Amino acid sequence: MVKREHLSLEMECLTLFQSNPYLFETIQGLEKRLGRKMSDLEPILESLTAQGILQRTGEGAMAYFRYKEPAVIAEFSFTSELEPL
């Protein structure tokens, strides 16, 4: 379930998008920016998208990724309904 060898690169991608919430990039663009092979990046972006951390827009070569903010409940209590804001 966790591909260990990918962990480091996965964290790198995560860090990148976390610190640049307004980064809109294609796989090719990320290849250039991170200096990592596209073939290595693909599964990672795939998985981050699947987990809802990234959001993919568009199709094919023009598909780009961006960071998706998690759901926040600012005032959570033990009894409140868990409907995110």
Partner 1 sequence: MIQSFDLIEELQEMYASQYGLTNFITDESGDIIMLAKGHNALFNLLLERGAVNEIIETVTKEFELSKTFFIDILPGVYACIAPVEGHPGYLLWSGVKMEPSSRDMIKNKIDHLIDDGDIDSILSQTPLFTLENKKEWLLSAKKAAKMISRLIGGGDSLFSEHLKVLQEAVKTEEGDVSRFLYSFLEKNSGIDFLGICEQRNDDLYEVSHAAGEEAKRIQGASFSPGESFLGRVLLTGEQAFWEEIEKDPKYTFFQHYHFYPKSLFCFPIQLRDGNLSLFFGGSRTSEVITDTVKDLDRNMAMLLEVVLSAESLRKENSGHLSRQSALADISMMLVSAPDLKKISYILVDISMSLVKGPFSAVMLKDSQKQKMMLVSRGDIKGEKGSYLKRAAKDYFTATSDLPPDRLVPSMKKLEGSSAIIECPLYFRGELLGLICTGTNSPVDQETEELLPFLQTLSLIAGVTLQLAGEGQENMMERKIEVLHSSIKEFDAEAYRIAEESVKIAREFTAELDISKPLIKNILIACKLHCFSHEYLAEMFPEAEFPKIVKDGTRVLAEDAAFKNEEQGIGSQIFALAVSYAKNEGDMEAVIARPYMKRIRQEFLSHLEDSKVVEQELPLEPESSHTMESKSVESTIKNHKNLSSREKEVLDLVIQGLNNKEIARELFISEHTVKNHLTKIFQKLDVPDRTQAISKVYQLTYNGSANP
Partner 2 sequence: MKVSTGIRGLDKVLDGGIPQGSAIVLEGAPGTGKTTLGMQFLYKGIVDHNEPGIFFTFEEFPDQIYEDMESYGWDLKDLERKNRLRVIGISPDIFLDQMTSKDGLFEQLVREIDCRRIVIDSISLFEYLPDKTGENGRSLLYTLRNIVRKFGLTSLFIQELSSLDRRKIPFEHFIADGVIRLSLKEHMNIFRKRTLEVTKMRGTKINEGEHIYQITDKGIYLLLASQIVTDKYISDQNEKIKTGIPELDNLLGGGMAKGAVYMLDTNSKANYRHIVGAIYAERVKAGNRILSLLSSTQTVTELKALMDLYGIDIDQLAREKRLYFIEHYNRPFPAGWEGSVFHVQGMENKDYDRFLWEKCKGLVKECKENHKDWFAYYDLSTIFNERGAEYVLRSFAKETAFARSFGMTVLVLCNFKEVGEQAASFLERTSNGVFKTWVDGSYQYLQVTKSPDGQISKPYLLESIGQKPYIRLV
26 Cβ contact partners less than 8 Å away, ≥ 6 residues apart: 61, 62, 63, 64, 65
List the single partner that 2 binds among partner 1, partner 2, none, CB under 5 to 8 Å by kind: partner 1
Q: Which is nearer to partner 1, 14 or 23 (CB)?
A: 14
Q: How far is CA 67 from CA 4, 13, 48, 61, in A?
A: 23, 10, 10, 18
Applying CB under 8 A, what is the total number of residues that bind partner 2?
16
Residue 82 found at the interface with partner 1 (CB under 8 A): yes
38 belongs to the binding site for partner 1 (CB under 8 A): no
Quick check: 37 binds partner 2 (CB under 8 A)? no
> Using alpha carbons only, how large is the chain's radius of gyration in Å?
15
Under DSSP, the state recorded for 27 is H
Binding site residues, partner 1, CB under 8 A: 1-2, 4-5, 7-8, 10-12, 14-15, 18-19, 47-48, 51-53, 69-79, 82, 84
